[in-house]
Amino acid sequence: MGDGELFRGRAEVGAAGGGPPGARDGEAGAPVIELRDVCVRAPARAIVRNVSLCAPPNQVTALIGPSGAGKSTLLKVINRLTDLAPGLRVTGEVLFRGRDVRAPGVAADRLRTRIGMLFQQPIVFPKSVYQNVIFGVRHVGNVPRRRLPEVAERALREAAIWDEVKDRLHEPAARLSVGQQQRLCLARTLAGSPEVILMDEPTSALDPRSTQSVEELIVRLKARHAIVLVTHNVAQARRTADRLACLCVTDGVGELVEAGRCHDVLTNPQSPALRAYLRHAEG
Ligand X SMILES: Nc1ncnc2c1ncn2[C@@H]1O[C@H](COP(=O)(O)OP(=O)(O)OP(=O)(O)O)[C@@H](O)[C@H]1O
Residues that bind Mg ion (CB under 5 A): 72
Of 9, 19, 26, 67, the residue at the interface with ligand X (CB under 6 A) is 67
**Least distance in angstroms from the C-beta of 127 to ligand X:** 28
Going by DSSP bridges, is the β-strand pair 196-200/115-118 parallel, antiparallel, or unpaired?
parallel
- Which span (31-39, 82-90, 126-134, 166-174) binds ligand X, by CB under 6 A? 82-90
Site for ligand X contains 70 (CB under 6 A): yes
**Axis crossing angle, helix 178-191 with helix 129-140, rounded to the nearest 10:** 30
Give Cα separations from 72 to 25, 128, 232 (angstroms). Answer: 26, 29, 12
219-255 CB burial, b ≥16 within 10 A, e <16: eebbeebbbbbbbebbebbebbbbbbbbbbbeeebbb
CB 109 within 8 A of CB 140: yes
| Closest CA relative to residue 90, chosen from 103, 80, 104 | 80
Report what 69 binds from Mg ion, ligand X, none; CB cut-off 5-8 Å by kind. Answer: ligand X
Residues whose CB falls within 8 Å of the CB of residue 149, separated by 6 or more in sequence, listed in order: 130
Per rule CB under 6 A, is residue 128 in the interface with ligand X? Answer: no
Per CB under 6 A, the segment of 65-73, 130-138, 147-155, 264-272 that binds ligand X is 65-73
- CB of 140: closest distance to ligand X in angstroms? 25
From the CB of 72, what's the least distance to Mg ion, in Å? Answer: 3
Stretch that binds ligand X, among 62-70, 124-132, 141-149, 158-166 (CB under 6 A): 62-70
Is residue 85 involved in binding ligand X (CB under 6 A)? yes
In the complex, least distance from residue 199 CB atom to ligand X, rounded to whole angstroms: 12
Binding site for ligand X (CB under 6 A): 42, 47, 67-73, 85, 87-88
